[in-house]
Structure 1
Amino acid sequence: MNRTDRMYAIVEELRAVAPRPRSATWLAGRFEVSRRTVERDISALQQAGVPVWAEPGRTGGYCLDRARTLPPVNFSPDEAVAVAVALGGVAGTPFAGGASTALRKILAAMRDDDAAAAHDLAARVHLLGAPADRPGVPAVLADAISARRVLRLRYTDREGVPTVRDVEPLGFVGSSTGWYLLAWCRLREAVRAFRLDRVVRATATSERAPRRAVRPEDLQVPEGDLRTLALLD
């Protein structure tokens, strides 16, 4: 193990056990180097601004302030390609733009050789068939949820009747047939789900939407049981 990799590994070891300490003797045995080498590595880390300090005493050692550091996000080539394949499934959803920028960030954070290997691996992955044939989602709709901006929609209902509505965006509902914008409709004075393929035009206003709680029984979506997306199971 070269010195750079060893210093990285020392930081990750201290992060894993924080706030408990690791002694120089323990670290020397773990990385098969001398105690003096560990002390030089720790000194270099401290000079570089890594929040490592020595805790004196019989049970002391080196500690890392985990609250002041973030673990690096490193992806292997196969992990990056797996993420790319998964993100490909969001084409035509409100999150297609976010998926594209997320993948670019992942590749930018990777080492050059790993990024090159990821591109090489991706070139050997072949997908049969085209993505689901759904219209793209206007960026103004995707941004409205996080920005909490009132939207003015020109919308065509199921009978083909066009209306203009000011709505307070609340979220999205995905179904097997498409995506809906979930919003408080000021025209109907109720929560409504607007099919995105029926939105003729959407304009963000300067008005900030108030926070509203939404209950499942408030939703009028024509198919299936609703479930909320969970990032962690």
Structure 2
Amino acid sequence: MKFEIMTEILFELLSKKTVTAKYLAEKYEVSVRSIYRYVASLESAGVPIYTARGAGGGISIVDTFRLTSTFMTEKEFDKVIGALTAIAEGVPDKTLDSAINKLKSVIKNEYASCKMTSGNLIIDASPWGDAVGYKSKLNVIVGAIESISVLHIKYHDRNGTVTERDVEPHFIVFKQGLWYVYAFCRLRGTFRFFKIGRIENATVKAENFTRKNVSEADMGLDFWENAAEAIPVRLEISSAVVSDAQEWLGVENVKEKDGKFIAEAKLPLDGGLISKIMGFAGGVKVLSPDILKTKVVSAAKNLLNNCG
């Protein structure tokens, strides 16, 4: 435990200019005295740490201190390079490519006998059947984010409405197997998530914007497209479509009970959910809530009338 906390403190000091002993003690749930003992042990190991007393003081590490490349093992380097390579293949980025090459050069020099086994993780941003168009569109969006340029997009919402709008892209987000761009929408005057698969085309405009100070907490990543209408849903899944239901809802939300497959999840009550349930062609039965049952029955009747 002592070694683990010391390691965490070291990385804490490397990532921040100054921290207080009280902060570290609260974070690692130890006494302030213990923190000073850990710091003394790091100093004994050759880490140049200095402590300033009084207001504005704290524990710091000299700016020139750097960890040697061997602070990571061969396998750790391999895993990091593999993960970064997978991300770079999904979202190409010149800076990321440069970082990967630097890491590869480090491991080549420090572990000359190491045989790289990276490649177990693959991230492909494009949908099935489209390996070029989607990635080209993603490259345009990433380029707009990096150059802080306004992006003009033609967007299809889930109701089929097509709009053209200017947006200020801030982040690329990968959520529940889907890619989004988080951008300030000038048409609506607010930040929104735009599903990249629903963007028909994207063009970088010759106009820059001022990035807004947005944190991950501000983004609300625990979202549905219509989060205000999300409701608890209970479904009975037939064995014929259980695999598809697991991919849709997640295997952790589809359980076998008394010989039946029951799915429980919080889902948005909208047309997309109705269409999804009907798309299983009778393989999904709504157990609750009643309002969802009513909507599915109504949609089924409309379908029959249209077929007549």
- Normalised to the residue count of structure 2, the TM-score between the two structures is 0.42
Aligned mates of 1:85, 1:211 — CA distance in 2 = 31
Is the 8 Å Cα contact of residues 171 and 181 (structure 2) preserved in structure 1? yes
Q: Name the SS for the 1:117 alignment partner.
A: coil
Q: How does 1:1-233 map to 2 (within 5 A)?
A: 16-19=47-50, 66-74=62-70, 75-87=72-84, 89-90=86-87, 93-94=90-91, 99-112=96-109, 114=111, 116-118=112-114, 120-122=115-117, 127=120, 131=123, 134=126, 135-136=134-135, 138-214=138-214, 215-216=218-219, 221-222=224-225
Runs ≥4 in structure 1, deviation > 6 angstroms?
Answer: 217-220
1:91 CA displacement:
6.3
Is the 8 Å Cα contact of residues 125 and 179 (structure 2) preserved in structure 1? no
Per-residue CA deviations over 1:18-44 (Å, capped at 9, x if unaligned) read 459xxxxxxxxxxxxxxxxxxxxxxxx
Aligned mates of 1:87, 1:161 — CA distance in 2 = 37
Larger strand proportion of the pair: 2
Q: Percent identity?
A: 25
| Larger RCO (CA under 8 A, 6+ residues apart) | 1
1:78 CA displacement:
1.6
How many equivalent residue pairs?
Answer: 164
Larger helix proportion of the pair: 2
Q: CA, structure 1 residues 18+141, in 2 after alignment: closer, same or farther (shift >3 Å)?
A: same
Per-residue CA deviations over 1:98-155 (Å, capped at 9, x if unaligned) read 55443222012334362x434x241xx7749x65673536223223334322111232
Aligned mates of 2:189, 2:180 — CA distance in 1 = 18
Aligned partner letter, 1:174: F
The two structures, once aligned, show a CA RMSD in angstroms of 3.9
1:173 CA displacement:
3.0
Is the 8 Å Cα contact of residues 77 and 117 (structure 1) preserved in structure 2? no
Per-residue CA deviations over 1:175-212 (Å, capped at 9, x if unaligned) read 11301111111122222211112223222223222233
Q: Name the SS for the 2:158 alignment partner.
A: coil
Per-residue CA deviations over 1:45-79 (Å, capped at 9, x if unaligned) read xxxxxxxxxxxxxxxxxxxx932454444454222
Q: CA, structure 1 residues 173+84, in 2 after alignment: closer, same or farther (shift >3 Å)?
A: same
Q: Name the SS for the 1:212 alignment partner.
A: coil
- Normalised to the residue count of structure 1, the TM-score between the two structures is 0.53
Q: CA, structure 1 residues 92+127, in 2 after alignment: closer, same or farther (shift >3 Å)?
A: closer
Gaps of 5+ in 2: 1-42, 52-60, 127-133, 228-308
